[in-house]
Structure 1
Amino acid sequence: MAELLNLFFWYFHSAIILCTLLGWIDRRTRWIHRIVILLTWLSWFGGGIRYGFGYCFLTDWHWNIRRELGYAIPTDSFIHFLLMRVTGIHMHRYFVDGIAVLALVVVTGIAVYQVLHGERSSPP
Structure 2
Amino acid sequence: MLYPFLNYFFFLFHTLLMLFNTVGWMFRATRKWNLVTLLVTAFSWFVLGIWYGWGYCFCTDWHWKVREHLGYHDHSDSYVHFLLLKLTGINFNPRLVDYVTLIVFLISLIMSLWLNFRKRKS
TM-score range normalised by the length of the shorter chain: over 0.9
In structure 2, the partner of 1:30 is: 31
Q: Deviations over 1:27-75 (max 9, x none)?
A: 1111110111000100000111001110000000000000000012241
In structure 2, the partner of 1:112 is: 113
Which consecutive unaligned segments of at least 5 residues does structure 2 have?
Answer: none
Amino acid paired to 1:4: F
Greater share of helix residues, 1 or 2? 2
In structure 1, the partner of 2:68 is: 67
Amino acid paired to 1:108: L
Identity of aligned residues (%): 38
TM-score normalised according to structure 1 size = 0.91
Amino acid paired to 1:52: G
Mapped contact 2:32–2:116 kept (Cα < 8 A): no
In structure 2, the partner of 1:94 is: 95
d(CA) in 1 for partners of 2:32 and 2:9?
Answer: 23
Amino acid paired to 1:97: D
Shift of 1:118: 3.5
TM-score normalised according to structure 2 size = 0.92
d(CA) in 1 for partners of 2:77 and 2:54?
Answer: 12
